[in-house]
Amino acid sequence: MASSGMRKGSSGTSVTAAQSASVPPRVGEQIQRLRNERKMTLDDLSRAAGVSKSMLSEIERDKANPTIAVAWRLTNALGVSLDSLFAPQKAPDPIAVSGPHEIPTLNGHEARYQLRVWGPIELAGKFEWYELTLQPGGALVSSAHEPGTREHLTVLNGVIDIDAAGTTKRLKAADTARYVADEPHAIRNAGKGEAKALLVVIHG
């Protein structure tokens, strides 16, 4: 194996056919996916694994393949087994379906609300959407989110009050409110029956 900890093809940008026969393809892509899932930067993984940032960057772009020693350090830092890194990846299902029992649900019993988390976990903190159900007298009261965050709420049924930026607006079924969410804000059931809404959060 190359003393630099990487093996390159003759062009310096890709592995040769002989090498690709002995090394599982797209290892770099798997490392990058695992790193992103853990919200680690290149610097984070470089420090945790003791692998230079430039080497890690080339590995992730599949311009170089890691030696077993380097791969072991990377998988150890990522918290996965070495075998799992080199295992062939199944092609993603073109249509991934989640049943009702697979949708995370947050219940605020005293506040009389329920949030069903429709957005995928990998988008959390970036782009989220929920089904919000408010019982009579229920409210979802939130602290300020990251600067620049906005929320978009569409009422599906019932009557809802939005408190944001020192203003209150009342919405009925089919109304949509768009408002700043980087300061304290609240969504309240203003009717006598159950209210339901689609809530989209776009983080700043």
Task: Yes or no: say if 171 and 134 are a contact pair by the CB < 8 Å rule.
Answer: no
The residue with greater pLDDT, 63 or 157, is 157
Which of 86, 120, 151 terminates a domain? The answer is 86
- Could you write out the DSSP letters of every residue in 68-88? HHHHHHHHHHHT--HHHHHSP
In a domain? residue 164:
yes
The dihedrals phi and psi of 157, each to the nearest 5 degrees, come to -160, 155
- Cα dihedral 79, 145, 127, 97, rounded to 10, equals 70
Most confident among 7-11, 71-75, 148-152 (mean pLDDT): 148-152
Question: What residues contact 178, with CB distance under 8 A and at least 6 apart?
Answer: 150, 151, 152, 153
Residues 107, 178 within the same domain: yes
Tell me the two tokens of residue 28.
């770099």
Domain hosting 123: range is 100-202
Listed range (94-98, 153-157, 172-176) with the worst mean pLDDT: 94-98
Whether 106 and 177 share a structural domain: yes
Q: Phi and psi of 150, rounded to 5°?
A: -130, 150
Answer whether residue 45 shows pLDDT above 80.
Answer: yes
Sign of CA dihedral 187, 176, 195, 198: negative
Same structural domain, 184 and 106: yes
The residue among 8 and 140 whose pLDDT is bigger is 140
Mean residue pLDDT of the chain comes to 84
Which pLDDT does position 86 carry in this prediction? 67
Note the pLDDT tens digit of each residue in 73-96.
898 898 888 777 766 666 777 888
Q: What is the mean pLDDT of residues 158-178?
A: 97
Residue-wise pLDDT for 105-116, tens only, equals: 888 877 799 999
Residue 59: name the closest of 179, 135, 67, 17 by CA. 67
180-195 pLDDT, tens digit per residue, is 999 999 999 999 999 9
